[in-house]
Amino acid sequence: MSYVVGTAGHIDHGKSTLIQALTGIDPDRLEEEKRRGMTIDLGFAYLVLPSGRLAGIVDVPGHARFIRNMLAGVHGMDAVLLVVAADEGVMPQTREHLEIVDLLEVSRGLAVVTKVDLVEPDWLELVTAEVSETLATTSLAGAEILAVSSTTGAGLEELKVRLDLLLAGTPLRQDVGRPRLPVDRVFTIGGFGTVVTGTLVDGSLKVGEELELQPSGRRARVRGLQQHNRKVEAAQAGSRVAANLVGVEKDELDRGEVLARPGTVSATRRLDASLRVLADSPRPLRHGAQVMLHTGTAEVPARAIVLAGDQVAPGSTGWVQLYCEQPVAVATGDRFVLRLPSPSATIAGGAFADVNPRRHPRHDERVRESLERRLAGEVLQEELRKYPRGITEKALLRATLADVADASRLEARRAGQWLFAAEAWSALADRAKQALAGYHRAHPLRGGMPREEMKSRLGLAPAAFGPVLAAFVKDGLLAERDGELALPDHRVEIEPATGGPASRLLELLGARPFAPPSLPEAMREAGASAEVVRALAHKGDLVRLSEDVAFTRAAFDAALEQVRAAVARDGTVTVASLRDRMEASRRPILALLEYLDAQRITRRVGDARVLR
Ligand SMILES: Nc1nc2c(ncn2[C@@H]2O[C@H](COP(=O)(O)OP(=O)(O)OP(=O)(O)O)[C@@H](O)[C@H]2O)c(=O)[nH]1
Ligand SMILES: [Mg+2]
């Protein structure tokens, strides 16, 4: 069980000296830092508190030029020590670091007034009041203010006790089974290879695990883990971790990469977010503004698309889509900070609502509402709405990194493996119904629409079509007959009244039932279209034996009887014998027998046929 505590504050206010005094570890590890007497990059230490509780420490640089390093260090902090030198009081980076802490919603912390050995008590009182006032409008409002001297050691024991108490009331970082380690440092140790460090969130890591780095996509295996300079077999969420990796070289990695289980984190260039612009931001966040996005340990240039209005004014909140120059590996709910490049200034911060969004129309209330629901936790439900043509459960879970259990609570219409939002389903059903109604109007003599045509009309994924159709049929929305789709109440009415082409055709064919005129001839004479013939055949009033021979139903039934009788008597039947028996001509009888062969009623043996 471990926590992460970070420093914050203006240059030279005594952050690193305080950490050394508290922990015995000098966080300034670079030669250049020693030479210049200032922190340049993040420094690390750890502290054992009076209760035995462990805190990993991240020491940040105060110099304005190194603010990006500070931003990489604040990710994952449970609590912050805002350091203010008693002899200088609140200074520009005191405020800027505090703004960042505030935008990242770090709400636990202590204000530590250092160098008290250098000032008189009255002065200390003034500085304390100033610090209290500065905190008042931030997430650290009301934080305890402690006075210490790293030189004399005054107040240091009290500070440890207060920090211990603060962490006692801090909930442990949650473990959602998807460990992420945003990398803040990469180095090599002779004989061991590549080591990355960071603050682990959302899950635990084990030695031997196969992991993936995003956005680079490189694979690596964990050879060893260390926490607070000790070897461990597993590291828990919410702790500082050093991971020795096999399979990646130091040169292939940078700060900003995220170490995670394969397939659990994806990199994206488009992000939807809710944000707040600082009340004393020098500028509003304008639509189209070029910004620097800082999230986790990553830093990436991005363009801000303001979703409603032309800007988000200082002191207000808004919704934006960020379009990044390079991919970043983040998760829904992650917090971020936006800075303007030049003159550089922190202007806004917020949380990601969708890390895999589409492009949105601007000024659309529905987009904002959907994002609000998403940020409120309805990630899966809102993700589903993005797929008007449905999505498989597997793909949906992958897109949102959600669990199967979450999917079972989803309000969705299911068709096999496919899920549809309610609106998408009814739109799809409407489309199917309208397509059929139109088809029936255009082809009143047809029983229905071929499946293939419906398939292209609905535009579903090929694999989704079958299950969706089955669900439509089950719901009674449409009916399937002989591979054709129809509205349930659709009936083919070949001829509303008698005396039309259909009845004339049947009459012509029935006049000499076994020696009818050729079909094309009869059609011409009756004025019957191919469509009418198709419909009559479909209905069963007419049996089409070949291209140009058709019998009426009565003729066909009688002919079949004759065939059966002939076979019963003679054992077989031939074209000639049947022609004589039925007083017909050769052509229709040949067509009849070939048709019966094709229907597998008869079988040809030499010149004769037998019943199957
Ligand atoms: N007298 C006195 N000097 C202190 C105290 N704490 C720090 N200093 C001195 O202040 C100077 C700056 O201290 P650092 O700890 O490097 O300050 P910092 O906040 O880490 O500075 P950056 O990392 O560059 O932002 C050093 O010379 C320290 O010796 C203190 O409590 N009393
Ligand atoms: Mg320092």
Say yes or no to pLDDT of 467 above 90.
yes
In this structure, the number of other CB atoms found within 10 A of the CB of residue 319 comes to 22
Say yes or no to pLDDT of 5 above 80.
yes
Q: Is 94 in the pocket of ligand 1 (CB under 6 A)?
A: no
Atom index in ligand 1 nearest the CA of residue 27 equals: 20
**C-alpha 62 to ligand 2 mean position (Å):** 7
Residue identifier of the C-alpha nearest atom 11 of ligand 1: 12
Distance CA 113, CA 14 (A): 9
Distance CA 578, CA 602 (A): 14
pLDDT in tens, 139-163: 999 999 999 999 999 999 999 999 9
Say yes or no to pLDDT of 572 above 70.
yes
Say yes or no to pLDDT of 478 above 70.
yes
Q: Is 182 in the pocket of ligand 1 (CB under 6 A)?
A: no
Say yes or no to pLDDT of 401 above 80.
no
Amino acid found at 40? I
CB of 119 closer than 8 Å to CB of 132: no
Adjacent-strand bridge partners of 56: 4, 46
Say yes or no to pLDDT of 263 above 90.
no
User: What pLDDT is stored for residue 113 in this prediction?
Assistant: 98
Q: Is 62 in the pocket of ligand 1 (CB under 6 A)?
A: yes
User: What pLDDT is stored for residue 496 in this prediction?
Assistant: 63
Atom index in ligand 1 nearest the CA of residue 150 equals: 31
Average pLDDT over residues 10-16: 97
Atom index in ligand 1 nearest the CA of residue 39 equals: 23
Atom index in ligand 1 nearest the CA of residue 148 equals: 31
Distance CA 91, CA 400 (A): 42
pLDDT in tens, 603-612: 998 889 998 8
User: What pLDDT is stored for residue 413 in this prediction?
Assistant: 92
Say yes or no to pLDDT of 42 above 70.
yes
CB of 527 closer than 8 Å to CB of 545: no
Of the two residues 383 and 224, the one the predictor is more confident about is 224
Enter the pTM of the model: 0.77
Average pLDDT over residues 8-14: 97
- Substitution candidate for ligand 1 out of 12, 15, 67, 91 with most atoms within 8 A of CB: 12
Q: At 411, list the tokens.
A: 């309000």
Average pLDDT over residues 235-244: 94
Distance CA 557, CA 581 (A): 15
Average pLDDT over residues 60-65: 95
User: What pLDDT is stored for residue 497 in this prediction?
Assistant: 63
- Substitution candidate for ligand 1 out of 13, 17, 34, 115 with most atoms within 8 A of CB: 17
Distance CA 137, CA 109 (A): 14
Mean pLDDT of all residues belonging to the chain: 92
Atom index in ligand 1 nearest the CA of residue 11 equals: 25
Which pLDDT band, with edges at 50, 70 and 90, does 109 fall under? very high
pLDDT in tens, 301-358: 999 999 988 999 999 999 999 999 999 999 989 999 999 988 889 999 999 999 989 8
Which pLDDT band, with edges at 50, 70 and 90, does 222 fall under? very high
Say yes or no to pLDDT of 1 above 70.
no
**Which of 354, 296, 280 lies closest to 321, judged by CA?**
354
**C-alpha 189 to ligand 1 mean position (Å):** 30
Adjacent-strand bridge partners of 194: 188, 245
Which pLDDT band, with edges at 50, 70 and 90, does 481 fall under? confident
Residue identifier of the C-alpha nearest atom 6 of ligand 1: 14
**C-alpha 196 to ligand 1 mean position (Å):** 28
Cβ-proximal residues to 501 (8 Å cutoff; 6+ apart), any chain: 495, 526, 527, 528, 529, 532
Of the two residues 580 and 119, the one the predictor is more confident about is 119
**C-alpha 28 to ligand 2 mean position (Å):** 7
Q: Is 115 in the pocket of ligand 1 (CB under 6 A)?
A: yes
Which pLDDT band, with edges at 50, 70 and 90, does 260 fall under? very high
Q: Which ligand lies nearest the alpha carbon of 61?
A: 1
User: What pLDDT is stored for residue 365 in this prediction?
Assistant: 86
